[in-house]
Structure 1
């Protein structure tokens, strides 16, 4: 077998399962925007330019009153100067509006691009997570973080940063202008601002807690929707007459979501009402204090307080109200969004348990012999790594379908040796080209053993080897190319039959797809459909029969053409005629490749080169069909139990056949 060096995957310094909770959220959010530095710089230039232009308006207003309409020297109105001042006051809004259009395009581009990057990074990271993560996490909860949580931070990424900068510049320019006009009136305007800041911080912390609870509730609703409204969920509810209870469960989650939404919406409303009242009455107070200054009741420089100054100051004060309110609201929005960012980063910070070692090598697909060895293997399922509000708990697995590996994942609960091991001291070898079968009672570790070969899980002790190489030393991509699998319940996505088969090799030609279908005994059936290979399979392939789905899955793996094939009870629950078709397809699939088959129906594996018997996570026997019948162990017991329940006259399982010694 040839090995080709290939760059290893980038692995952080963290151990698998750790979370980088010590890193602040805001710097990480800033890194999302780093690729768009040039556009952000243009946004800042636009913001400063617009704020600078707007800060000129009050001074033009003062000039209109004190120099054009009512000159301080007592002369007549200066209409020529007034025309220029009015022209300037009209030009400024036009210029700021044009700047605003460009600024909005830039911020929308940056924000939505950063959000797309975040969503893509999250999806890519989830694709790298190990199988155990998904068996312990609700599919709806994952979908909620991809959709609802990322959408929840849209405003922060698209508008908030710009709003903060814009309003900060506006408030700063207005404050400087107010001080220039009258520092005494400025003190009156800003005297209670520290109190508002403290109140705002308290409100923000409360809204942050509520935001997290609201998103967790929304995740629960999404999970219920995904479970209950999938094809499997609807079928399950109808079969067991649980539709009303599912509706009640959804309504309860919906009511909780509504309460949290209302509570979140109302949090801070009283605070903002007080702020708005203060800003509304401040001009009246300004006029009162100005009167005291003009009459000399307050020795604060009455000569500098002209009518134009007073009008300009109150104009600035009214312009200051909206930016300050927006800054306060944006600050609360940021604190709320931080809770959503933390939820997203929780997933991004989960290190995959299955990773490539530094210096991992790639299997040469043309030189893989297919020798599989489990050497002194012991395996215990790791603790599930599901985050808050995402666990499956007492619900079914994905779409209401029980996952075979799940019962074995609970150490000490009817699986393994009773000591917590799902597999205990397993050593076996499957030679290249052999058909090896694994049999045993439910929960004996059959599926677990096969899941170790493609590294769906890593062994706790010992090693799994392909052609003498530890699978942990191989690149994940080359390992996936070398191993194919047909499961008991194959997954078909909602698409055409052609697309479902071609999923194994996207670049396959129509002739290659058709040949794979012929080898899988499904071509004639496909051509009997009105739309042939363009027939839509439906959600999870529900428009097809079980045998049709199984043969499509076989066609898919035949198109992939792996060196090692794993069959996980691929002919269970099929009628005799369909089983015959599937069995013929499997016989073609197993030619010239190493095959490991898990079977409860022992009739399907009697011709296997070697049969391994597992019980309570231990390998208790191995040999051929005839040898194991003679030995009188586990296989003989399973054989007798199965065929004693079979109706008389079934030739494929008659224990009195000439080739079966009793």
Structure 2
């Protein structure tokens, strides 16, 4: 077997810190349905207790006295008891499962919504497969606990108490013999629970690793990389090793403590035999009727099932703490870019953009990506950011879209700090077309409508024409209803870029951020799209990051960025006359 991953001390401490009260809080809002479930459980347990007493009457009274009428009524009573308990069981299962599924739904939605609020920095630090695994595998693994644990506790506890009372009523002496096995059973169960929790934590981490391998190895980009690099066999070997470790963990999880539980089952099974032996010994012979003995052993056998159920609940809940810990870890993540509590409304936004002494550092970075930046971009004007790779241009663009918040200073639109605007208002004002195009696995029409759900077909077509992509789409077999494929890989880089441009233009933002938006286009297509941008940027504030300086010569303002600072700014002609960094870049 492959080497096993041991949980870190932090992970162990996290699993231990999960509060059962917090888990119980998941059921808030379901008190009345839970009350109905508890009522049906108690009713079912009480009705079910009638069976041993009916059986005693059959053996001790009806049969010895050939009382057919009594026998018929007793048999009818047994059938009625079975029918009522079965019907109550169906109602209980229906309500408890509905409650559990609603709790699961709420948990999935809460995790997904909370992750949606996380900054881009979280997703750059976290593996995609890890996120997917927690939402699917971890929450899925909690399903049995959430849907059945509460009802299992109530059902088994009620049955154990009621059965114990009935046993004591029949024979308190024999009841004491039955209770002897409780201490070792509880001790063994706690040992098993501890083992299961550790194994469950390891299993979920391995499932997350497996998800990452699938995401990296079977995505379009991953498959292309493995085929061009010849690493397909290595990927299969990596997947096989992870799957092999899962086999080991699944076996250990299923078999953990089984021999201990098997020992207890043997003990439980031996107790009725001991009771029969005790009843037949000379000192106790004749002290109780055969009917009482049979009824007692029936009760004694039935008490062990709910008793073991209660003990197994402890095993299940304890082992599932590792799952809850992983989910709560995501729910407890701080939100780095918060929605304002009382957002300022931008009515008739003009698009005046300002950077006021803005400094920004990425998490765990020792140096500032942006330091002391001051920029003023009047409404309707254009700003071009130029500089070498890694100079901070894309970081400035990300701050305009509020993908990050400044470490110090502020970015404003029409004098309003971006941190005071709602995300919806900001998204309606600022449109971004980046160098990394992401298309959804749906039709071209729905990809475009994603930016504006209420857009008409005419508006969609107009945006596509403006981005010089309409003719390409119209030539497809299904036109705008053509599926773009996973991440749009059926289109060329330039076509994807133009679809993304059309998608942003459909929203008609007052501020347009073009982060090397034409980088994937050939010279001819770039010129065509640039003409569309020139037309559409009239009256709109435009911030352009360009790899070809020829495309930004006519910008109202050009800022040269170097190591997060603005070295110089001005028009194309004034910067050339100054003979500074911009002049060097244009001549290289």
Normalised-by-shorter TM-score class: over 0.9
- Cα distance in 2 for partners of 1:208, 1:571 equals 52
Report if aligned partners of 1:554, 1:589 keep a CA contact under 8 Å in 2: no
Q: Quick one: which of 52, 60, 74 aligns to 1:58?
A: 52
- Report Cα offsets for 1:516-572 as digits up to 9, x if no partner: 111111112211112111011111111111111111111111111111111111111
Query: 1:23-38 residue pairs with structure 2 within 5 A?
Result: 24-38=18-32
Deviation at residue 106 of structure 1 after TM alignment: 1.2
1:654 corresponds in structure 2 to none
- Cα distance in 2 for partners of 1:203, 1:534 equals 56
SS at match of 2:356: strand
Q: Structure 1 or 2: larger helix share?
A: 2
TM-score for both structures, normalised by structure 1? 0.84
Indicate how the Cα distance of structure 1 residues 20 and 369 shifts in structure 2: closer, same or farther if over 3 A, else same.
farther
Q: Quick one: which of 91, 103, 117 aligns to 2:92?
A: 103
2:350 corresponds in structure 1 to 369
Runs (4+) off by over 4 Å: 19-24
Report if aligned partners of 1:483, 1:565 keep a CA contact under 8 Å in 2: yes
Are residue 81 (structure 1) and residue 54 (structure 2) matched? no
Deviation at residue 157 of structure 1 after TM alignment: 1.8
1:313 corresponds in structure 2 to 296
Are residue 183 (structure 1) and residue 172 (structure 2) matched? yes
Report if aligned partners of 1:25, 1:342 keep a CA contact under 8 Å in 2: no
Q: Quick one: which of 372, 380, 388 aligns to 2:361?
A: 380
1:339 corresponds in structure 2 to 322
Deviation at residue 21 of structure 1 after TM alignment: 9.4
1:386 corresponds in structure 2 to none
1:455 corresponds in structure 2 to 402
Deviation at residue 485 of structure 1 after TM alignment: 0.1
- Cα distance in 2 for partners of 1:585, 1:180 equals 91
Q: Quick one: which of 505, 516, 521 aligns to 1:569?
A: 516
- Cα distance in 2 for partners of 1:536, 1:595 equals 31
1:390 corresponds in structure 2 to none
Deviation at residue 97 of structure 1 after TM alignment: 1.2
Report if aligned partners of 1:380, 1:460 keep a CA contact under 8 Å in 2: yes
Query: 1:271-310 residue pairs with structure 2 within 5 A?
Result: 271-292=260-281, 295-296=282-283, 304-310=287-293
- Cα distance in 1 for partners of 2:181, 2:81 equals 32
2:80 corresponds in structure 1 to 91
Across the aligned residues of Structure 1 and Structure 2, the Cα RMSD in angstroms comes to 1.8
1:170 corresponds in structure 2 to 159
- Report Cα offsets for 1:138-194 as digits up to 9, x if no partner: 111111111111111111122222122111111111111111111111111111211
SS at match of 1:424: strand
Deviation at residue 217 of structure 1 after TM alignment: 0.8
Q: Quick one: which of 207, 211, 215 aligns to 1:218?
A: 207
Indicate how the Cα distance of structure 1 residues 101 and 91 shifts in structure 2: closer, same or farther if over 3 A, else same.
same
Report if aligned partners of 1:131, 1:457 keep a CA contact under 8 Å in 2: yes
Indicate how the Cα distance of structure 1 residues 289 and 176 shifts in structure 2: closer, same or farther if over 3 A, else same.
same
- Cα distance in 2 for partners of 1:548, 1:588 equals 20
Report if aligned partners of 1:519, 1:588 keep a CA contact under 8 Å in 2: no
- Cα distance in 2 for partners of 1:604, 1:516 equals 21
1:247 corresponds in structure 2 to 236
Deviation at residue 432 of structure 1 after TM alignment: 0.9
1:503 corresponds in structure 2 to 450
- Report Cα offsets for 1:29-69 as digits up to 9, x if no partner: 32222222222222111111111111111111111122222
- Report Cα offsets for 1:463-495 as digits up to 9, x if no partner: 111111211122222112211100112110011
- Cα distance in 1 for partners of 2:79, 2:287 equals 27
- Cα distance in 2 for partners of 1:21, 1:549 equals 45
Unaligned runs of 5+ in 2: 1-12
Report if aligned partners of 1:356, 1:472 keep a CA contact under 8 Å in 2: yes
Report if aligned partners of 1:119, 1:150 keep a CA contact under 8 Å in 2: yes
Report if aligned partners of 1:614, 1:620 keep a CA contact under 8 Å in 2: yes
SS at match of 1:560: coil
SS at match of 2:368: coil
Report if aligned partners of 1:551, 1:585 keep a CA contact under 8 Å in 2: no
1:48 corresponds in structure 2 to 42
Are residue 228 (structure 1) and residue 175 (structure 2) matched? no
Q: Quick one: which of 575, 579, 583 aligns to 1:628?
A: 575
Report if aligned partners of 2:15, 2:322 keep a CA contact under 8 Å in 1: no
1:351 corresponds in structure 2 to 334
Query: 1:593-604 residue pairs with structure 2 within 5 A?
Result: 593-604=540-551
Are residue 324 (structure 1) and residue 299 (structure 2) matched? no
Are residue 39 (structure 1) and residue 33 (structure 2) matched? yes
- Cα distance in 1 for partners of 2:571, 2:489 equals 38
SS at match of 2:30: helix
Q: Quick one: which of 468, 472, 491 aligns to 1:544?
A: 491
The number of residues matched between the two structures is 576
Unaligned runs of 5+ in 1: 1-18, 71-75, 384-410, 413-419, 642-662
2:185 corresponds in structure 1 to 196
